Amino acid sequence: MNIRLEQPKEYHEVENLTREAFWNVYRPGCTEHYVLHQYRTSPDFIPELDFVLEEGGKVIGHIMFSKAELVCDIPDTREGKRIVPSWTFGPISIHPDYKRQGYGLKLLQYALEKARESGVGFLCMEGNIDFYRHAGFVLASQLGIHYHAEPKDAEVPYFLAQELIPGWLKSNGITEATYCPPKGYFVADENPDAFETFDATFPTKEKLRLSGQLGYEETPSPRFNFNTVGLFTRDNKETVEFYTKTFGFTTEWDGIQPNVEMTLGNMRIILFPRVAFEQMVSRSFHYPEGFNGTMELAFDVPSFADVDKEYLNALEHGAKSVLPPTTEPWGQRTCYVSDPDGNLIEIGSFIE
């Protein structure tokens, strides 16, 4: 393993490494390689703290440092704020084939020591405390440093900090301040077209929305799954005959049991005699006379012509007409009939 300064001739190779390392990690695709690319010419970029890690002669890791600012809450300027130069780092990248093998921590520890030797006294960054605590980082709020995008009293779990030079905050008269990251970190959001053009110079990769990404919300499992439609009948036999002959439902009903299950593709209907249901729940019910206007069963057919054909087919098998085939203003041709128990059935299509 060898850690050394990055060379300009390696810029595109390292940007591709960064792209591989961050692809689909925090968002579909990534922008970190564009951030790195733009930083090459930024005054905040610190080239003497721009390192690559080699293994077997192959570049497998990279880290860069840049300048940032702390805005102190003790005013001593005409604008009412005191600005103290500070530092940050990132992106830090390890090729996916070499992750979780200790390379990232070794690269980070080496770079932090070099930063300390160069006079970097204090670092703020955004990352996972479970990893960065091994390199000495703590939640920035513990040091009185606030994140620019969160309320000052918030303990931001991903906003971390470390004094590389012990006592640096005190020696600079800082007891409380707000961290302002370098502007270059948001370059992809500010220039989306330029970013897309740049990204197109790399191999095509699939962007995926994955659990754990920023802004990702797991769709909660529903408390209920819709199961079936149940119809209470005057006569199961008559209703079974109507639905099987008119619409092609199938059933294994033996003609004796009160409960009937009928299926048509993914659709499922159960039938139960009204009298038997009243006996089961020990109460009586009032049923609509004539057409039951409280609900409907809706069937789609391939075309307008099929609406007309199936309407006539339903009438031939005992359905009563409620609305003949009609083309509605919203572009649907539809009709309504009723089954033997008066339940409304819609047959419709949006395809002329």
Query: To which H or E segment does residue 338 belong?
Result: strand 333-338
Indicate if the pLDDT at residue 27 is higher than 60. Answer: yes
CB of 179 closer than 8 Å to CB of 68: yes
Among 94-108, 132-146, 178-192, 226-240, the minimum mean pLDDT is found in 178-192
Among 57-61, 148-152, 256-260, 276-280, the minimum mean pLDDT is found in 148-152
- pTM check: above 0.85: no
Coarse DSSP helix, strand, coil percentages of the chain, rounded to the nearest 5 percent: 30, 30, 40
Predicted pLDDT of residue 213: 81
How far apart are alpha carbons 23 and 19 in whole angstroms?
Answer: 6
Confidence grade of residue 312 (pLDDT, cut at 50, 70, 90) = very high
How far apart are alpha carbons 334 and 298 in whole angstroms?
Answer: 10
Coil, strand or helix: which one is 229? strand
Instruction: For residue 152, give the DSSP letter.
Output: T
pLDDT above 70 coverage of the chain, percent? 97
CB of 169 closer than 8 Å to CB of 163: yes
How far apart are alpha carbons 40 and 206 in whole angstroms?
Answer: 27
Of the candidates 89, 84, 65, 112, the residue with the CA atom closest to the CA atom of residue 175: 84
Is the previous residue joined to 91 through a cis bond, with omega within 30 degrees of 0? yes
Other Cβ atoms within 10 Å of 11 Cβ, number: 14
CA 147 to the chain's CA centroid: 24
Predicted pLDDT of residue 77: 52
CB-count burial class (<10 Å; 0-12, 13-18, 19+) for 37: buried
Predicted pLDDT of residue 75: 56
User: What mean pLDDT, rounded, does the chain reach?
Assistant: 92
CA 135 to the chain's CA centroid: 31
Residue 33 corresponds to which tokens in the numbers above? 């390689």
CA 218 to the chain's CA centroid: 7
Predicted pLDDT of residue 76: 52
Indicate if the pLDDT at residue 79 is higher than 70. Answer: no
CB-count burial class (<10 Å; 0-12, 13-18, 19+) for 271: buried
